[in-house]
Every structure is written in structure tokens, then in C-alpha cells.
């Protein structure tokens, strides 16, 4: 992690990056958040925020996003894509947020434009390995309360972006699924992303029309209900069809 004091002259106090990392646990969509502790008017407060920070003058935006995500969550080699800029004058209207950031960065903060990045990941043990050490955790979207700055808005915009992006590139949704998945898991994911229910029978027909969703000769093991068949996403078939 870079030493803020040493790089003080390089810090740009008007531009930041924020990373929206979305994961799926088979039942719910979750966002990766950072625990924040601060003090305002003599009282300690605890809340949460997106992994984000100010950028340095000697790095470009993509470098800054990767650095910030690694420093704050331990996640590396995650594909981040820039999806929107947020520059409302109301981003820093809450004095609590401004004071916290000024104390953390040891510099004067005024208006801040943030460049938001999005990553879709599979939630697994390897991904979670360093989260506790970094005070980062997964929170279901439905359980997220008021976050710092305008981070609730950024997450809502990220979900809207995923929905629009998946319309012309549905393969992006399979980044959220394990290597092998059930039809129920895929349907649950679609329902969460699109915010509506899908009829089970019609959704199975939909799957059968997706040549790149390949059924496996393998079913669930040790489940109380009828064992469901597993499927996998075939990137080669998908790319061939897309051409």
C-alpha cells in the first residue's frame, strides 16, 4: 500500500474511483463493502462504503481502480470496467463524509468527481480469503442500509448497467455463476438482475434455446429435494454464435 504522507503532493483531491463488486451466492446478489469507522462531533460512528479512494496524479484511472480495490479488499486480478462518472455537487453535502475523508487523507476536500468501476465475480473461498483482514464483507443488496457519500446511488446505477449490458451481451451474467450451476440458480440470477419473476417452465424453454448453456450428465448430490441437473456455460459456443 502506498504511503499517503510520502505521496501527498501527488494526491488529486478532486477525483476518486469507486469499485462496485457484485457477487452471487446462488440465492442473492451481494455487494462488497468496506467497514468505516469515524468520529463526528465527539461521537464514534460505524457505517459502510464502497471500496474507493482518491487517485494519484501519476496513475491513470484503471490503475487507480485496481490499486484501490487491492488495498482495501485484498482482491487482485479482478476485471473492472468503467461504467459511469458521478459528479453531483451533493456528493459531499454530508459533513460527516467530508470530515472522515479529510482525516483519512490528511488534506482539504471540496467537491469530488468519482469514476465508478464494476466487477462481476463468483463468490468462493479464494475470493474471500483476505476480506476479514481488510475489514471488507459481502452484503446482500436487499440488506444494504445508508452508505457513505452517494454510494447507494452508485450501486443502483451499477445494477441498471448490468441489466442493460446483459441485453446485448448475456455472457456477463455467467461471470456470477459457479463453473457448474442448476437451472434454478440461473433463473434466480435472472430474477434478481431483471427484478421480476420468471415462470419455471418457460424459463426451462429459454435455457433450451441457449446453445451455449450445456447440460451435464451430472446432478446434485445429497439434497432433500429431487436432484437437479447441472449445466455449464460454453464460451466457445457463445463466441461462435455471436460472430
CA pair distance 170, 7, nearest whole angstrom = 42
Q: How many CA atoms lie within 13 A of 141 on its CB side?
A: 22
- Neighbour tally for 160: CB within 10 Å: 13
Are the CB atoms for 88 and 150 separated by under 8 Å? yes
pLDDT confidence bin for 164, thresholds 50/70/90: very high
Across the range 20-49, mean pLDDT stands at 86
Nearest in space to 233 (alpha carbons), one of 185, 186, 187, 174: 174
Predicted confidence at residue 99, as pLDDT, reads 83
Predicted confidence at residue 130, as pLDDT, reads 67
174, pLDDT greater than 90: yes
- In the chain, the domains with their CATH numbers are 8-171 (3.90.79.10), 179-242 (1.10.10.10)
- The average confidence (pLDDT) of the chain is 88
CA pair distance 39, 103, nearest whole angstrom = 10
Higher pLDDT pick, 58 / 153: 153
The string of pLDDT tens digits covering residues 219-241 is 878 777 788 899 999 999 999 98
The string of pLDDT tens digits covering residues 52-91 is 998 988 889 999 999 999 999 989 889 999 999 999 988 8
Across the range 169-174, mean pLDDT stands at 94
How much is the pTM? 0.88
Amino acid at each position: 500500500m502506498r504511503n499517503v504522507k510520502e505521496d501527498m503532493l501527488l494526491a488529486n483531491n478532486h477525483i476518486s474511483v469507486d469499485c462496485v463488486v457484485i457477487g452471487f451466492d446462488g440465492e442473492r446478489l451481494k455487494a462488497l463493502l468496506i467497514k468505516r469507522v469515524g468520529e463526528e462531533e465527539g461521537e464514534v460512528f460505524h457505517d459502510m462504503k464502497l471500496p474507493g479512494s482518491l487517485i494519484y496524479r501519476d496513475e491513470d484511472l484503471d490503475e487507480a481502480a485496481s490499486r484501490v480495490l487491492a488495498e482495501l479488499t485484498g482482491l487482485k486480478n479482478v476485471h473492472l470496467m468503467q461504467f459511469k462518472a458521478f459528479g453531483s455537487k451533493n456528493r459531499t453535502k454530508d459533513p460527516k463524509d467530508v470530515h472522515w475523508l479529510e482525516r483519512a487523507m490528511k488534506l482539504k476536500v471540496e467537491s469530488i468527481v468519482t469514476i465508478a468501476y464494476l466487477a462481476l465475480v463468483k463468490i468462493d473461498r479464494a475470493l474471500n480469503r483476505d476480506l476479514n483482514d481488510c475489514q471488507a464483507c459481502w452484503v446482500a443488496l436487499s440488506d444494504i442500509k445508508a452508505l457513505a457519500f452517494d454510494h447507494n446511488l452508485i450501486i443502483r446505477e451499477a445494477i441498471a448497467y448490468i441489466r442493460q449490458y446483459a441485453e446485448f451481451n448475456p455472457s456477463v451474467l455467467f461471470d456470477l455463476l459457479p463453473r457448474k450451476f442448476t437451472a434454478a440458480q440461473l433463473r434466480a440470477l435472472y430474477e434478481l438482475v431483471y427484478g421480476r419473476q420468471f415462470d419455471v417452465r418457460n424459463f426451462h424453454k429459454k435455457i433450451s434455446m441457449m446453445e451455449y448453456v450445456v447440460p451435464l450428465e451430472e446432478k446434485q448430490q445429497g439434497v432433500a429435494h429431487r436432484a437437479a441437473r447441472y449445466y455449464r456455460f460454453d464460451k466457445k459456443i457463445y463466441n461462435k454464435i455471436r460472430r
